[in-house]
Structure 1
């Protein structure tokens, strides 16, 4: 049987009878730390004239092929048309007499797209703002459409007078200068997918647990510092070099006759900083870039870091400023970077990434124009692009995947991803019967993967000895190691003990460090505050309909509002997360049974494989999650790894903040039963006839369960409950009627 391989849209030459072993997986349950892609074993690709051309003459003397360094699209089909891989990735290396190739597909598309990118690479312009009282209040108004919010909490700074005496005529007066904005996680998540031309679906993204999740700006900021341009040279020069035997020039941008006072210049081209922090590099200009034949060449500009003794062609790219700049076209670019004290940077110009090497590359004549502004980021202005530059997109995606126990499934033909919880997979109502494909059982294991008896999920902490928000998945098997960390979050946990903030118990999210001054001089503050950075916290926002007064002492400003949003750490300790989203995994680990079996699979089975399904095998008497298919080859039994599903595993279901469990309607009287799993003293009943575009609200104490409601006008209505900023499920009722509804 023959296989058909396409590389870059053209059919490649394969030897007759070529076989390619395929491994299929999406989420190896043996490892919670990562998610996996499908792949083939390494196979040979003969160096026929056609294949050599496809490889851009790779391995031939003088070749300039970029195939080994870039995404090489490929598709693999069976001889009868079954599609095994559509638009996957081919990794090509030299095998001597032939090329060697490995094909990857599945979620590798997503992880490759976000590889080496940070959240700061996203377009976050609508988050950037200057903090003042009006900005804080505007962020509290959902109608304003802000994707950030100032959530009132103790950030360990100057809180202000937030706890007036009970019965006092004064309202709480937080100091806005020590508040920190938070970005909505759901918005940030959507940004990642839309900017990478991908879509994602999943019921978990419609839950309050996801939609009401916020991540703090990672730096405390102290009002007072103004933005500062550290270096803006008035003269520029260029000195170039090329690798031996190459005519592709690389050029340092130099700054002759300059004597900056706020930075140090090394060799007139390397800018050295004295302080750690975020810096912005702003460049503009145009280049007269040509080949040895006089043809126009496109160019790129990038930043090198800590390379003051290297020639230009040896300087590795630290950050790209701009690529594909047309000959003598005006360009403008900027990049925010984090530098440690004593770091240095330089600017390098060379040919564009996708420009041909033919004829080399050179900057010629006096027709170059270049401008540079080197700026220290204003600490009073919230630049999310700069602040999030050290949080990789991959780490952020993994944070969400781990917190909600998600598995990714990529659509074969589109850039669409479905995210399912393990509970949703176990709810499969149409399992696949593979009994007729069963050949034999190879083994049955009871110690699974690299798990221990206690498998810890851990936060970061300001106090490095703290563990109060950590928790573990337990595997009751004395033959496994005692303990192991399986997830180490980049997110910080708030302090263990709550304090009074706005006369309520509140967590402390340390964005500032307090330093007590011993024997302060007259007029000196007894406590000094130092801003901390790289502190990412997750929290929830709970609306409080109470009057609040905001103060900004440094500008002597004051403002008031009749509502605000306060912090909540509800359902964010790992104990709650594991209870809500890892119940099925806990059940799997308690009585782990992993069966390795040989199955007679076909090309059709592999092409249409669905890891979202449960699989039933009569000879083994159980339903299974298909964990992995190892080295499929047609016409041979294939070794498959199957995780046995214990009875009752599908009963695990995440707990909702507030849920209507039963509604009884008797004529015009409605009795509403509900579960309340969030701290709230008031439960609000909403009644609507237009899908909650408008609704009548009826607040009442949370202890009134069941809740009674009498309606005089007849009709069809929707009802739901609200508590602590969360909405329950909606239930449709008809008045009058005599019905009992179990949602």
Structure 2
């Protein structure tokens, strides 16, 4: 046996035993992916090994080698038994340096670490979240190459699958797009997922609210020093929640006239919202204002405007006026993204670990995962494929070593009489759980075998339901006067700051539909008397956290996508469905072969006289035939192969 670390041959003791355990997928644990590994090797303390390990035995050594994954090569009779393994230096023991070797998918999962799918670079799919892009993105012909699709689904707002406002639609990102980006950034190839649903799987937007990146927010921060001007205006170019802070450092307070600072949202000189605070003490006075710039608002001429009353710069005439040392205004958007701004694809994905998404896909379709280190390729094979591959089976009958009775197992891993496959729990979700049965009363009654990082979705005739919106309710304390229409509102006799609930505000160009809540502005020169829109039914919703979801593009359907109350475009899109990926659907189909293994389960651990090519050519998708047992088997594991005698193998009857 020969061992190389970072390309240089290491010294081994003459009696070194190199034992390899080979596996890709332990079918008794469908929620995991395994790798092949060696026994712990002891490298004797020689000058060469000291150099290779950075003299790690010495406490005073500052070498980084013990803290690095090392490239390794393990040869048995000139053949690599572990393909391109990674070496981990465990420590320095009494007889030498202790090293473990791992080969296969472990390196991929080490690289992925705890990265979220939100950490991926999907910037090529970022786009303007507006009417034009929603209409273009709703087309039923879109594929994973397009990255996303705007397919309607019920978010908790009034829902009609055949008619939707553009701003009520959110992009669903193709799962394959995300999956392939994970592997691309990890530097790994794959041969596709051989399932008819693979190109139809999507991750619908299911977060509490859409978000902007910090870069987007920071690029729109405006800070102004208004020391020399009585007023200052900041143009508003984007919808969203805009926080505005005005600070004044008062140097002198006049008792002759009241002083104040104010922030106003106005369009072409007409005030839309007013927030003021008096300046009554020396030192710092701060006004924090918050304006909701709804997507339906006309942004032409819209600005945030500040004005101070009876305040002048320090050093000037103080007669009748207060003075200040500095006066600043700052505007900054909150992170929530509004319609008619930019949609960041990665940031608005569910917060799921990249490795958990890979394991979830493996569990959904009962896939055998095998990593070829030489081609750096992940291969996914349905477990059902073993039935077809019986014609390719390896006949290992002559390799059996007869040394008594072959041990037989009847308990299949941690499976129970009812082995549950579950979606993540969400009280706002549906039911996608189901179970495989094992006819063995010696086992536990029930046990959870798989839990996906997604919640199930309730499905209706119009598609799936992900209710992250919930309706707020107006109460009498929210308004002073109720009226039916904009016309009847305008005929009311009101006082300054009276709040009026207009039950049908469709006469207001800024209100797409439903009611509006207004504040009356009166006797505030130079502003003419008028109305400030405080809330409207179209946006009067709370948002709440729901668990991540996965869905399938289903049947095609026409939908009218509305831009305004009088303009819509009809597109042929796809409904989102959940039932095709419910375990009630998947277990009878994708898990058919595994159910066959569970029925009267028989696992044997015979000793087989394998050679190095048997181990190096391990392919978990090819069954093993043993004439003595007149059966085909799944090779679950080759245990501690040394090349110096029989090797114990774990086989499950197909």
TM-score (norm 1): 0.61
Which stretches of structure 1, 4 residues or longer, exceed 6 Å deviation after superposition?
A: 222-227, 230-234
1:396 Cα deviation after fit: 0.7
- Verify: 1:173 aligned to 2:166, yes or no: no
Gaps of 5+ in 2: 224-243, 247-330, 483-500, 502-516, 518-535
Q: Structure 1 residues 608, 541: CA separation in 2 closer, same or farther (over 3 Å shift)?
A: closer
Q: In 2, are the aligned partners of 1:230 and 1:375 still within 8 Å (CA)?
A: no
Q: Structure 1 residues 131, 193: CA separation in 2 closer, same or farther (over 3 Å shift)?
A: same
- Verify: 1:146 aligned to 2:142, yes or no: no
1:385 aligned to which of 322, 346, 364: 346
Q: Count the aligned residue pairs.
A: 485
CA distance in 2, matches of 1:233, 1:173: 39
Q: In 1, are the aligned partners of 2:395 and 2:626 still within 8 Å (CA)?
A: yes
- Verify: 1:486 aligned to 2:449, yes or no: yes
2:135 aligned to which of 134, 137, 146: 137
**RMSD of aligned C-alpha atoms?**
3.1
* Secondary structure in 2 matching 1:386: coil
Q: Structure 1 residues 57, 576: CA separation in 2 closer, same or farther (over 3 Å shift)?
A: same
Q: In 2, are the aligned partners of 1:22 and 1:40 still within 8 Å (CA)?
A: yes
Q: Which residue pairs with 1:589 in the alignment? A: 598
Q: Structure 1 residues 626, 405: CA separation in 2 closer, same or farther (over 3 Å shift)?
A: same
1:156 Cα deviation after fit: 0.9
- Verify: 1:30 aligned to 2:18, yes or no: no
1:433 aligned to which of 387, 395, 406: 395
Q: Structure 1 residues 198, 38: CA separation in 2 closer, same or farther (over 3 Å shift)?
A: same
1:545 Cα deviation after fit: 5.6
1:119 Cα deviation after fit: 1.1
1:52 Cα deviation after fit: 1.4
1:213 aligned to which of 201, 204, 207: 201
2:408 aligned to which of 437, 444, 457: 444
1:468 Cα deviation after fit: 2.3
1:110 Cα deviation after fit: 2.0
Q: Which residue pairs with 1:551 in the alignment? A: 563
1:491 Cα deviation after fit: 1.1
Q: Structure 1 residues 566, 143: CA separation in 2 closer, same or farther (over 3 Å shift)?
A: closer
Q: In 2, are the aligned partners of 1:225 and 1:379 still within 8 Å (CA)?
A: no
CA distance in 2, matches of 1:138, 1:77: 56
- Verify: 1:537 aligned to 2:549, yes or no: yes
Q: Map of 1:446-525 to 2, 5 A cutoff?
A: 446-463=410-427, 468-495=431-458, 498=460, 504-519=461-476, 521=479, 522=482, 523=501, 524=517
Q: In 1, are the aligned partners of 2:407 and 2:604 still within 8 Å (CA)?
A: yes
Q: Deviations over 1:344-376 (max 9, x none)?
A: xxxxxxxxxxxxxxxxxxxxxxxxxxxxx9985
Q: In 2, are the aligned partners of 1:74 and 1:86 still within 8 Å (CA)?
A: no
Q: Which moved more, 1:585-594 or 1:596-605?
A: 596-605
Q: Map of 1:558-707 to 2, 5 A cutoff?
A: 558-645=567-654
1:393 Cα deviation after fit: 0.5
- Verify: 1:90 aligned to 2:74, yes or no: no
1:641 Cα deviation after fit: 1.0
- Verify: 1:199 aligned to 2:163, yes or no: no
CA distance in 2, matches of 1:83, 1:100: 20
Q: Structure 1 residues 148, 62: CA separation in 2 closer, same or farther (over 3 Å shift)?
A: same
CA distance in 1, matches of 2:470, 2:352: 22
CA distance in 2, matches of 1:224, 1:115: 25
* Secondary structure in 2 matching 1:580: helix
Q: Which residue pairs with 1:300 in the alignment? A: none
Q: Deviations over 1:313-347 (max 9, x none)?
A: xxxxxxxxxxxxxxxxxxxxxxxxxxxxxxxxxxx
1:117 Cα deviation after fit: 1.6
CA distance in 2, matches of 1:153, 1:467: 14
Q: Map of 1:41-440 to 2, 5 A cutoff?
A: 41-78=39-76, 80-97=77-94, 98-141=96-139, 142=141, 146-159=146-159, 162=160, 172-202=162-192, 204=194, 207-221=195-209, 228-229=217-218, 377-380=335-338, 381-388=342-349, 390-428=351-389, 429-440=391-402
Q: Structure 1 residues 66, 386: CA separation in 2 closer, same or farther (over 3 Å shift)?
A: farther
Q: Structure 1 residues 59, 557: CA separation in 2 closer, same or farther (over 3 Å shift)?
A: farther
Q: Deviations over 1:33-88 (max 9, x none)?
A: 1011111111201121111111122232432322333321111001x211112321
CA distance in 2, matches of 1:74, 1:225: 41
TM-score (norm 2): 0.68
Q: Structure 1 residues 486, 512: CA separation in 2 closer, same or farther (over 3 Å shift)?
A: same
2:14 aligned to which of 12, 16, 25: 16
1:211 Cα deviation after fit: 0.4
Q: In 2, are the aligned partners of 1:52 and 1:58 still within 8 Å (CA)?
A: yes
Q: Which residue pairs with 1:345 in the alignment? A: none
Q: Structure 1 residues 516, 484: CA separation in 2 closer, same or farther (over 3 Å shift)?
A: farther
Q: Which moved more, 1:27-36 or 1:507-516?
A: 507-516
Q: In 2, are the aligned partners of 1:151 and 1:181 still within 8 Å (CA)?
A: yes
Q: Structure 1 residues 233, 56: CA separation in 2 closer, same or farther (over 3 Å shift)?
A: farther
1:21 Cα deviation after fit: 1.5
Q: In 1, are the aligned partners of 2:383 and 2:621 still within 8 Å (CA)?
A: no
CA distance in 2, matches of 1:642, 1:110: 27
CA distance in 1, matches of 2:6, 2:333: 43
Q: Structure 1 residues 389, 28: CA separation in 2 closer, same or farther (over 3 Å shift)?
A: same
CA distance in 2, matches of 1:622, 1:38: 26
Q: Which moved more, 1:518-527 or 1:104-113?
A: 518-527
1:490 Cα deviation after fit: 1.4
1:605 Cα deviation after fit: 2.4
* Secondary structure in 1 matching 2:18: coil
Q: In 2, are the aligned partners of 1:199 and 1:416 still within 8 Å (CA)?
A: yes
1:225 Cα deviation after fit: 13
1:231 Cα deviation after fit: 12
1:570 Cα deviation after fit: 4.2
* Secondary structure in 1 matching 2:585: helix
1:90 Cα deviation after fit: 0.7
Instruction: State the structure with more CA Rg.
Output: 2
Q: Structure 1 residues 459, 547: CA separation in 2 closer, same or farther (over 3 Å shift)?
A: closer
1:569 Cα deviation after fit: 2.5
Q: In 1, are the aligned partners of 2:171 and 2:204 still within 8 Å (CA)?
A: yes
* Secondary structure in 2 matching 1:390: coil
CA distance in 2, matches of 1:398, 1:512: 30
1:229 Cα deviation after fit: 4.0
Q: Structure 1 residues 461, 155: CA separation in 2 closer, same or farther (over 3 Å shift)?
A: farther
1:194 Cα deviation after fit: 2.0
Gaps of 5+ in 1: 164-171, 235-259, 263-372, 499-503, 646-743
Q: In 2, are the aligned partners of 1:408 and 1:419 still within 8 Å (CA)?
A: yes
Q: Structure 1 residues 596, 618: CA separation in 2 closer, same or farther (over 3 Å shift)?
A: same
